[in-house]
Amino acid sequence: MINVFNSLLVMILALNLLALGSRSILSVIRIIAIQGILLGILPLILHEGLSIPQVVASLTAISMKGVVIPMVMIHAMKNIRIKREVEPIIGFVPSSILGAVITGSAFLLSNQITVSTGGYENMIIPAAITTILVGFIQLITRYKAISQVVGYLVLENGIYIFSLLLIEAIPLIVEMGMLLDLFVSIFIISIITNHINNAFSSLDTRRLTTLKE
Amino acid sequence: MVYFQVIIPIALALVALVVPSNRIRPWLIPITGVIHFCLTLWLLFNPEQCYVNSWLILDPVGKIILLNVSILYLVCSFYAAGYLQYRLENKNRIFVACFVAFIGIFTLVCWSYNLGVMWISIEATTLITAPLIYFNKSTQSIEATWKYLMVGSVGIALALLGTFFLAYSAIVGGTDASMDFYYLLKNGGTLNKGWLQAAFILLLIGYGTKMGLAPMHTWKPDAYGEAPGIVGAILSGGVTSGAFLAITRIWQICNVAGETAFTSKILMGIGLFSMLIASIFMMNQRDFKRMLAYSSVEHMGILIIGLSVGTTALFATFFHVIASTMTKGMLFLSSGNINRAYVSKNTRQVTGAIRRLPISGTLFLIGFLAITGTPPFAPFVSEFMILIKAFAAGHLVAGSLYILFMLVIFMGMGVTVLKVVYGKVPKDVVDTPYQDGILTAMPLVAFLVMILVLGIAMPASLTHLLNEAVSFMGKPI
């Protein structure tokens, strides 16, 4: 099982780099949707004896991260007639390389961290940290409001990977609450994104500069 | 009982969504406020009701925060009903629904003994307050809402990661992972130090963003500046004290784990930095609502300094939570009235408020005196007590800086406030019909009475409540 688990994690990390290098916002959203589906499968592999709450939590995560949230974002994009390009501060190739460097160093450094038991932890911790940092790169280096939302989603995905370490400690209702909060926040942010476009005729957050000292 | 406190506001919020009249709908807010306040009082007199299960417990610290916000909300709710009558041109369906639901969700913050539930409810208060900031629907308010949501969401995501680190530190330490606050307190000694310290920093950044501690305060001036004054009062007194409650929880766990020296240094640094940033940006501040936002940054810094000093200053710190909430309420509501009368929040247009609006203008001035620590108001007592305890604990440099920043802030804030309050009403000002009405002026007077009473003679029951919280926070489990 650990091989399947590890290869899924590697795919998730590869999707990170793919998302950093993609030019079109729509394809970035699709990449993140696939990442969300893979993430939802992970907890099912992690534990041999499947319980109903775990299956429910996984299915909800898959449908939220893989289907509902990407659809909300694509729907928000539909109403907006803009150049659907990502427009990063640093180019696509450099940011992919930066992502690869982060991935490599996270795995090297994770050997230094004390780990309680062998096995899954060795992969989960560096994968989580990498994904969180990739989310930050997208948040910081992208101008378009919707690309920043994607960055926030990747950040949340990284935190979700870390939560795999604590699968017994997180009750079902808490996990559901977290997914619900994530959905509502993306929903509200998408609405605001639409208003930004209507008011500023652009999704470029560089235009949001009226409020400053 | 907790279920009633949470479900009744949410049910009333649903009612608000279906009530068709813009004029009647706002009255749901005072109804919610009164019901919530009565339930809170009932809880204080029936302590046996404060335990529901291991997830939902109202401990003494939670009681103070709940009482504090319940009073703030009660007073503000009448103001909100009055305010919305002046703004009938704007649809208030979403505003009223979110405003009503807010207090229900906030109640959950005070009750939650599971750090996961606490995170969910604090995140939910962020989301439910975002449409409130957007009420004016101007380009500036879109910008403010966007920053509030993005900065707040990323910050709160880090708090979630911190919560997970905390739970994981229990696994590394050799016990079961848990997000149960009581369990973590009991097993504090066994938690892994490295993961615990990392968790503390992430939680401080995350919930500190919600509190508006510098340098995570960037959303605050924009949000408070563009939102209606009533929303500023709820955000600066309500949302921030919920985040402060979360920080006291992690502080307590770190104390039990023997990390007091580590947390104390970081808290002191971030508290003083918040005061520094506030004092810099309050100088020459022409926008009086942004000025209030920086004042809020300052007072969050003072709370964090109080926490850093430790057990001896806890009484003063919790008292300051209440004192600053009530004074901020008065300042935000009066600034809202002034803003309404002048259709501007810039001191270039707004002068002579004391002539234009005698009640709001006077209370704005008194609020400024109170919040900067002038006797005999409540913030004077709490700010002075924190200072004395800081010196007594040996923080000589920090204590001196605290005095210096207070002084600079007094002068900086004073310049702006005096410009607003005194002088002549400019001739070319937009002529608005707004005058202080009962609903928009009496809440200010209620706040004034409260900070006066608390400053001169604190009720014995409140002293008892504060002492309970201090002994709860200080005692070893």
Q: Taking CB atoms and an 8 Å limit, are B140 and A159 in contact across chains?
A: no
Q: Is the pLDDT of residue A153 over 60?
A: yes
Is B70 within 8 Å of B110 (Cβ atoms)? no
Going from the first residue of chain B to its last (477 residues), give the mean pLDDT of each consecutive group of 10, the final group possibly shorter.
90 94 93 96 90 90 95 96 90 94 95 94 94 90 91 93 94 87 90 93 96 92 93 93 96 92 94 96 91 95 94 94 95 94 88 90 95 93 95 94 96 94 81 84 95 93 93 75
Nearest residue on chain A to B126, alpha-carbon basis: A185
Q: How many separate domains does chain B show?
A: 1
Q: Taking CB atoms and an 8 Å limit, are B172 and A170 in contact across chains?
A: no
The tokens of B415 are what? 């310049």
DSSP states of A126-172: HHHHHHHHHHHHHHHHB-BHHHHHHHHHHHHHHHHHHHGGGTTTS-H
Tell me what pLDDT residue B188 has: 87
**What is the rounded average pLDDT of the residues A48-76?**
88
Nearest residue on chain B to A188, alpha-carbon basis: B127
Q: Does A160 touch chain B (CB under 8 A)?
A: no
Average pLDDT, chain A: 85
Tell me what pLDDT residue A209 has: 72
Position B160 in a domain: no
pLDDT of A91-150, one tens digit each?
888 888 999 999 989 888 877 765 545 567 778 899 999 999 999 998 888 888 888 889
Position B292 in a domain: yes
Position B411 in a domain: yes
Position B193 in a domain: no
Residues of the domain holding B300: 259-477
Position B128 in a domain: no
Q: CA–CA separation, B118 vs A162, rounded Å?
A: 19
Q: Does A188 touch chain B (CB under 8 A)?
A: yes
Q: CA–CA separation, B168 vs B184, rounded Å?
A: 11
Distance between A101 CA and the closest CA of chain B, angstroms: 22
Position B229 in a domain: no
The tokens of B176 are what? 């079961």
CA distances from B384 to B93, B126, B406, B468, B471 (A): 43, 32, 11, 21, 21
pTM for this one? 0.94
Those residues whose C-beta lies under 8 Å from the C-beta of residue B466, and which sit 6 or more positions away, are B64, B315, B318, B319
pLDDT of A84-105, one tens digit each?
666 677 888 888 899 999 998 9
User: Nearest Cβ partner of A165 from B145, B149, B168?
Assistant: B168
Tell me what pLDDT residue A83 has: 57
Position B337 in a domain: yes
Position B449 in a domain: yes
Q: Taking CB atoms and an 8 Å limit, are A189 and B153 in contact across chains?
A: yes
What are the φ and ψ backbone dihedral angles of A144, each rounded to 5 degrees? -65, 135
Q: Does A195 touch chain B (CB under 8 A)?
A: yes
Instruction: Provide, as residue numbers in chain B, all residues whose Cβ is less than 8 Å from the Cβ of A145.
Output: 146
Sign for the pseudo-dihedral over CA of B341, B347, B348, B352: positive
